[in-house]
Amino acid sequence: MVGGRRDYTPVSWKQYWDKSESVTLENGDVFQVYKRGEAGPLLLLLHGGGYSALTWSLFAESVSEMVECQVMAFDQRGHGDTKTSDDTDLSADTLAKDVGLVIEATYGLQQPPCVLIGHSMGGAIAVNAAYLEHVAGLAGLVVIDVVEGTAMDALSSMQGFLRGRPQNFNSLQNAIEWSVRSGQTRNVEAAKVSMPGQIKNSETGCCGTHDVESSIDSLNRNQEPSSEGAVRADVIPEETAENDGNSSSESSPPQPNSPTENALPVNSRCRFFLSVAMLCRKTHPIVWLKSWPRFS
């Protein structure tokens, strides 16, 4: 809480990961990869549909403190900062093949024992990648919160879900606040690092993570404080003390609590949009569900 309000200022991925790199495949596709740790078995994390590799940030930090391991997550095709020749090809076979190609391009012949861990869509892709033997040295498979029953049962609710998402946000803070208030995540810390990876700047077309990093760099170069008293028109009204569990009845305007707070664009012509929501207008929103592997 900052001044009676929750702080929705985005934070850098560097607080949770050792490095981020763009891995280029032989076909020219470029996948954004985040890594933590240098030794031990590899935990390869596959995010759910509409999310990004950064949704695993808090998990990566926690698990690497408990055991010696390497942790890697990447933005899957059509998500985050990854760029491919066909971002609309979201079939399970293509996404599963991407998994093997990214590991091979990252580690070459020195691939460590690998445990695939997937959430939701990522769980389905992990199963498919294991079943099709795309991962050499596969040591384990973990799936979290995958769809039960037939995938097509979820189709009726998918369109309503997509229609309920905002078309754009006035700022990164506004997007983070929405993700918490809407129930997309209940963990504010997770939202602050992961939400920038799920949206794009409408002017530059770049992933929101670029805005976070450039803002931090800009602030480091110029430590002059920003002008005070500006009204934050993009702020969603704060919940009452009765609803959010805060006993204080007083409210105050948000105060900077992060290196990015003073530098991030607010109320400018720049807008941020959910990149996958835009993508889903061009293709079937859950086309990847159609080719899930079936087991008897």
Choice between 224 and 113, residue whose per-residue pLDDT is larger: 113
CB atoms within 10 A of CB 147: 16
d(CA 78, CA 284): 13
**Tens of pLDDT, residues 50-73:** 899 999 999 999 999 999 999 999
- Could you report how far apart the first and last alpha carbons of the chain are, in Å? 50
**What pTM was computed for the model?**
0.76
- In this structure, is residue 253 part of a structural domain? yes
- In this structure, is residue 7 part of a structural domain? no
Q: Is the pLDDT of residue 31 over 80?
A: yes
Beta-bridge mates of residue 42 = 70, 114
- In this structure, is residue 2 part of a structural domain? no
- In this structure, is residue 131 part of a structural domain? yes
- In this structure, is residue 266 part of a structural domain? yes
Range of the domain at 108: 13-224+232-291
Q: Answer yes or no: are the C-beta atoms of 97 and 103 closer than 8 Å.
A: no
CATH of the domain at 124: 3.40.50.1820
- In this structure, is residue 1 part of a structural domain? no
**Tens of pLDDT, residues 166-219:** 889 999 999 999 999 988 899 999 999 999 999 999 999 899 999 999 988 887
**Tens of pLDDT, residues 129-166:** 999 999 999 999 999 987 666 656 666 776 776 777 78
The tally of domains found in the chain comes to 1
d(CA 283, CA 118): 23
If you average pLDDT over residues 247-272, what whole number do you get? 43
- In this structure, is residue 175 part of a structural domain? yes
pLDDT for res 152: 66
If you average pLDDT over residues 4-23, what whole number do you get? 94
Pairing of strands 272-274, 199-201: antiparallel
- In this structure, is residue 8 part of a structural domain? no
